[in-house]
Chains A and B, each alone.
Chain A
Amino acid sequence: MLMFQNQIREEYYENRMAQNLNWIRKKLPEGIKFKDEKLAKERYSKIQLDPGEAIGVISAQSVGEPGTQMTMRSFHFAGVAELNVTLGLPRIIEVLDARKIPSTPTMHIFLKSPYNKDKNKADKIAQQIKQTVLEDVTNQYSVDLARGEINILFDKDELKRRSLNLNKVYEQLSDQIKSADLKKKTASISIILKDKDIKKLYKLKEKLRNIIISGVSGITDVLAYKNETDEFIIQTFGSNLRDVAEIKEVDFARTKTNNFYEIESVLGIEAVREAVLREVMHILDQEGMTVDERHISLISDLMTRDGRIKGITRHGITKEKESVLARAAFEIPLTHLVDAAVSGEKDNLVSIVENVMINQPVPIGTGLPELFVKMDGVKPKPSKTTKKKAKK
């Protein structure tokens, strides 16, 4: 098992290494090819950090500084036409807190080749994706109590606009309603309940309103727009990655959503890591802030470290800190201290915050290296002492 884990880890590191080399390739000055292996290695060693560098604090400061400036600006919403998407500082907070549902869930759906060049075709697919409930296309419901019948009158123009017809609606309804008989008429459908219970009839009527007859559930609004490369992209309000993937016109490889939990369940945690990185970089870029990508990649690494999404909050990564004192130093100290006391936790005082508290040198920067002296007549037992230290 351990072997297997190590293998996975090594594979992962190799992947990351390849990514980093890719990144260097982009940053190389013109005229120098990547084939120069020596130079590449030199460059790579240059971008590596010294041991004891306080990367966490530096990352936090590097993101925090533009953050203070962003509060002062008021460009926090943007989007195409009526689709407003939260951007700016509120969105960054949302991403880093790892909220379950974003305040404005949205998708950018890319289309396959013939569909992404033509406005009409793209619009058609957009309408196909847009969720249509029965209420959207009906004019009127009439309830006949005596016969236990509900008569639904349809709006023909609305049906046509959403490229639907009565037959399709009828099929969908008969699929989803089992407790009643359906009858199709020229411009209406009547539903006759099998047992004539008034209560059930009204319940059914309420249920009918929200029956989805076409489209992807959760996507309440769509808009096809043209991007810089003259390609039509569908932006949506509402997100449902799994169901969109099943539409055959959609180019799923490029399709984006801003709901990270959906990404996690469909594509896995590594995709979330990349998505968080891209999202935060995108927002900072839009606000005109330049933050080095590696600061944010550290944050997204931290958020997805153990296979689940965790926010930078007291419920997320701070909760995972080993030190009791460090946890208590960050929000709700009393709860953390009492909980630690109940379970009899030990604090090994190995990290920064604790050592600031007890006024000892912090194990970072100049505080990291230690001096070991070989004494006469004393046999060094490095393995044992380090083990003990770790235990403590």
Chain B
Amino acid sequence: MAYVFIDGVLKGTVKSPESFVSKLIDQRRSGKVSKNLNIQYRENENIVQIQLDKNRLRRPLIIVKNGKSLLTENHLKQLKENKITWSDLIKNGLVEELDALEEESAIITMYEKDLKNKHTHLEIDPLIIFGMNTSMIPFAGFNQSTRLLRGQKNHKQGAGLYTLNYLNRLDTNVNILHYTQKPLVKTFTHDLYGDSVAGGQNVVIAILNHEGFNMSDGVVVNRASIDRGLARVSHYRPYSAERLRYSGGQLDEIKVPDKEVQGYSIEADYKHLDTDGLISPETHVTGGEVLVGKTSPPRFLSRQLETFSTAANITKDTSIKVKYAERGTVSKVLLTESKDGNPLVNIEVRDTRPIGIGDKVSSRHGQKGVIGYIEEPQNMPFSSSGTVPDILFSPFGMRRMTVSQLIESIGGKVGALNGRLIDGTPFSGEDSRDLRKELEDLGFLENGTETLYDGRTGKAYEAKIFVGNIFYLRLKHQVADKIQSRARGRVQLLTRQPTAGKAMEGGLRFGDMEKDTLIAHGSSLLLKERFSSDREIVSIGDRSGDIAEYDGYTDKFVSVVDPKETISKVEMAYGFKLLLEQLKSLGINPKLNLKDKFNQRKKQ
């Protein structure tokens, strides 16, 4: 006797669990019970578990009976001729889906030729062990697993055509690749998803050093390729302004702000605004310029009372500005209503970004790199047929043993020359030996190498260079989003330390460990100079050691303790002055004992 659980709830008992389970499975296959039912008998606990709930991951498997697959050649033929479909296979009990529970009791074999009596199921294809992204890596079976993980990660970051209706959507930080292509070397997954996964372009790639510009995962790109639109991306960024209502019937106003408004930027920033306070489409804008002019009423009620008393205009400028250091063209101005019924303006700024130095590119095999140099086309190497590679990839990248990239390269070459798409499905794709043979028949060396000539000298390289076609992705990490520098700029109000981060136009921190390096080097004055940008001159009483106060009548600093006390000006870091003042708030009164630096005996 065994207990029966349905969706984890005890429902009853059965006398002979094994026959009960096999009977139920038979009924499921014949369609008498739901196809979503999964069942397992656990011998150790002596329970039967039936699962019918939602959101279980299930994998399809071909059913095997008496060591023979139920799915025959006949079925496959019918499938090819579109006479039957996938759901027919499931309906007829040829294929079933197992969840994590029932999978445990199944004995599955990978290939049909290995089938024995004990097997209950047959795998559809070995490709099924990969996820969606990993299965898009051609010839993945030749690689180390870590390379596949990196490869699929890069897939996810690739700029492409993420959706077809992107013109009707407002998504943050979107990159749309111009001229997306089908990969020359595809896998079965590409067939499944059709063109919707296009996310890169086929480029001619030579594995060759170029003046050290492609060392350590650098990449050298041909300028002519970029001019022709290689990996060009449109970057879209939405901005929105909502006309909010506040308590007391006050409203935001969308208009060109008056100059008296608090927080008014310079006039030039508002130059693109029309009389309605909105920018018009196809206007070119740069960072800091206003897209929507908006003013808000004061935030606090007490401020409002001031309004009545002084009659000054204290509405705030809350205009929407283009993000710092960004630029683009206004592509859309959308007037609509927000969820709460407030008027809402959505503006999309588009920016065409050709690929450039510092942008990240990757092949599908985890071989990511950053563009280190853009070479003039006349200086690029060329082959006897006049082919000039788009990208020069460093041979040191091959230490990562991404054999699949080399095979894709050969496959791509064959595909480009023969005008067909190569099937690079892992484990079951075309044989690389056949591809090499085909390449040889086309008049090339079977190992994919060619004699290349240096564009600068016209001399042939001594070694034969590996040239082929590879599908390349442009990843979403772009210099335009990240580049930043500053010499001077904003500081925080309290500490007078520079702000942090690109959005705040911040500085780069010279931190504790960096400070230690200067100490270790013994460069004491350089260290002082590095930290002395915020020095402050503080007046200190000579005897009391307290900070003196400024007296407006006499225009002098006077000690609080003793008016007759002499005062000295002391230079210190502003941070230290702040520390002294914060110590006072703690109930500690720090005092400074002064001593003349040059004449030790003068004061005391």
Contact = CB atoms under 8 A, between A and B. Distances in A.
Contact of B595 (A341, A367, A392): A392
A365 B524 contact: yes
A356 B572 CA distance: 10
Nearest to A61: B520
Given A357-B576, A392-B595, A365 B521 contact: yes
Nearest to A52: B522
Contacts of B129: none
A3 interface: no
A361 interface: yes
Given A337-B586, A356-B515, A392-B593, A364 B576 contact: no
A341 B588 CA distance: 6
A337 B583 contact: yes
Contacts of A368: 524
Contacts of B521: 54, 365
B573 A357 contact: yes
B464 interface: no
Nearest to B570: A358
Interface in A364-392: 364-368, 385, 388-389, 392
A362 B531 contact: no
Interface in A122-145: none
Which of B524, B593, B600 is the most central at the interface, judged by chain A CB atoms within 10 Å of its CB?
A: B524
A337 B519 contact: no
Contact of B522 (A54, A334, A357): A54
Interface in A201-258: none
A290 to B, nearest CB: 19
B171 to A, nearest CB: 38
Interface string A59-72: 01100000000000
Contacts of A357: 573, 575-576, 579
A361 B593 contact: no
A367 B576 contact: no
Interface string B571-604: 1110110010001001110000101000011000
A28 interface: no
Contacts of B525: 361, 366-367
Contacts, number: 76
B528 A359 contact: yes
Contacts of A338: 586, 588
Contacts of B535: 359
B469 to A, nearest CB: 38
Most A Cβ at <10 Å: residue of B535, B587, B593: B593
A352 interface: yes
B70 interface: no
Contact of B527 (A356, A358, A389): A356
B422 to A, nearest CB: 40
B516 interface: yes
Contacts of A367: 522, 524-525
Which applies to chain B's interface (DSSP): helix, strand, loop or mixed?
helix
Contacts of B575: 357
A358 B516 contact: no
Contacts of A332: none
Interface in B502-539: 515-517, 519-525, 527-528, 531-532, 535
Contacts of B579: 357
Max count, chain B CB within 10 A of own CB: residue among A346, A359, A363:
A359
Nearest to A50: B522
B524 A57 contact: no
A274 interface: no
A177 interface: no
Contacts of B571: 359
A368 B571 CA distance: 20
Most buried by B among A58, A60, A364: A364
A360 interface: yes
A52, A61, A363, most chain B CB atoms within 10 A: A61
A365 B572 CA distance: 21
B528 A58 contact: no
Contacts of B595: 392
Nearest to A64: B513
B536 to A, nearest CB: 9
B532 A359 contact: yes
A57 B528 contact: no
Contacts of A366: 522-525
Which of B520, B528, B576, B587 counts the most chain A CB atoms within 10 A? B520
B572 A358 contact: yes
Nearest to B528: A361
A158 interface: no
A285 to B, nearest CB: 24
B522 A385 contact: no
A292 interface: no
B519 A362 contact: yes
A61 B521 CA distance: 12
A53 interface: yes
Contacts of B532: 359
Contacts of B524: 361-368
Contacts of A388: 600
Contact of A60 (B516, B528, B531, B586): B516
Contacts of B572: 358-360
A365 B523 contact: yes
A128 B523 CA distance: 61
A351 to B, nearest CB: 11
Interface in A40-60: 52-54, 57-58, 60
Contacts of A57: 516, 519-520
Nearest to A60: B516
Contacts of A389: 600
Contact of A356 (B523, B531, B586): B531
A364 B528 contact: no
Contact of B519 (A341, A352, A359, A392): A352
Nearest to B536: A359
Nearest to B582: A337
Interface of A: 52-54, 57-58, 60-61, 334, 337-338, 341, 346, 352, 356-368, 385, 388-389, 392
Given A358-B576, A363-B524, 12 more contacts: A53-B522, A54-B521, A54-B522, A337-B583, A338-B586, A361-B525, A362-B528, A364-B522, A365-B519, A365-B521, A366-B523, A388-B600
Interface of B: 515-517, 519-525, 527-528, 531-532, 535, 571-573, 575-576, 579, 583, 586-588, 593, 595, 600-601
For the complex of A and B, 5 pairs with smallest distance between CB atoms: A365-B522, A367-B524, A359-B573, A341-B588, A57-B520
29 contacts: A53-B522, A54-B519, A54-B520, A54-B521, A58-B520, A337-B583, A338-B586, A341-B583, A356-B515, A357-B573, A357-B575, A357-B576, A358-B572, A358-B573, A358-B576, A359-B532, A359-B573, A361-B524, A361-B528, A362-B528, A363-B524, A364-B524, A365-B521, A365-B523, A365-B524, A366-B522, A385-B600, A388-B600, A389-B600
